[in-house]
Amino acid sequence: MNGCHISGGFPASVKRVFTNKKVFTNLPPRRAPSHADVRSAAERRPGGPCAKTRLRFRPKTVPLLVMVSPVTAWLVLLIAVPLLYMLVLSFCSTDSAHNIRFAFTLRNYAKLFDPTIAGIYGNSLLIAGATTVIAVLVAYPFATVIAHAPSMRRTIMTALLMLPFWTNSVIRLYAWRTLLGANGYLNVLLQKLGLIHAPLEMMFTRGAVVLGMVYTLLPFMVMPITTVVEKLDRGLLEASADLGARPFHTFRTVTLPLTAPGIFSGSIMVFIPSLGFFFVSDLMGGGTSQLIGNVIERQFKESFNWPFGAAMSVMLIVFTLFLVKCYTATGGKLDDLGGVA
């Protein structure tokens, strides 16, 4: 501060401070304020930016909670709570009067490995696998036709595909019983044509159960395949043809791999219900083909062994989650498993 002239009406003490060099040389060095300092200062200010952020957050949060809360409560009350109760029930037991005893046990899960139950597992997997394969073979050409059809025709074909869903599944299966029964229209027609001399046993067989499953679940296979075929790049097919590939080779090396996610998605939506659609087995099989769903139904309605039925249900859910995990691990999207709509 040497050479600095202090003038004006300042007191002598102030002039001595400004002219004293040691006062300024002993001050700590200044540093740039950090992000934490700025944020702390902003929070201390009543009208700071953080206060404005809080004011903006509340008006958006309240309407969001009003919209989401009913859906969340619905899902928790009707899905999460029953699943949790079923999980707890699977570790319980029953007494001689079929009353539930809330005592922890693994006996219900041990029964799942009983040879009789294992045979039902095998029969269920066989019927579900046959249903899935036949559904793929029937649905793929139909889905291809829908995907390549003009807009108006595509809408009509999709509506005709979904039209049976307007009628109860049980009523539609009874129509098949009228058609395929011993005195049904098909047997009567074959006898009048002289092709057979005695009615064919087409009902109450494993084949009839598979037919009922395919008929009931076919739309769940058609719609995912239709979606992936619509998104298929036609340029790839044209490039394959330009390179000299035959139609079958193009289908095997280009079309089929690109549409595999739709096939896998449809297979999950067909295979899993086929394990538990007990009413199809009862109406079309007459009780001759037992599925996992039939066993679960009997535990709740006839045997009153709810813990064992809950254990089988938990096992079926775990198996479903395993298949879904395999689907997502191969690149599939959960949105594609939303249904046929």
- pLDDT 10s digit of each residue in the chain, 341 long? 444 454 555 555 555 545 555 544 555 565 666 656 656 665 555 555 554 444 454 566 667 766 778 888 888 899 999 999 999 999 999 988 888 998 899 999 999 998 888 889 999 999 999 999 999 999 999 999 999 999 899 999 989 888 888 888 889 999 999 999 888 899 999 999 988 888 898 899 899 999 999 999 999 999 999 999 998 888 888 898 888 889 899 999 999 999 998 999 899 999 999 998 999 999 998 877 889 999 999 999 888 999 999 999 999 999 989 988 888 887 777 766 654 43
B/e letters for 276-296, b = 16+ CB within 10 Å, e = fewer, are bbbbbbbbbbeeebbbbbbbb
In this prediction, residue 290 carries a pLDDT of 86
In this prediction, residue 325 carries a pLDDT of 87
C-alpha torsion angle, residues 16, 17, 18, 20 (rounded to 10): 80
In this prediction, residue 225 carries a pLDDT of 94
Q: Give the list of residues 6+ apart from residue 340 with CB closer than 8 angstroms, or none.
A: 162, 219, 220, 222, 223
> Tokens representing 282?
């009862």
pTM of the model: 0.74
Short-list 277, 301, 316, CA closest to 90: 316
In this prediction, residue 124 carries a pLDDT of 93
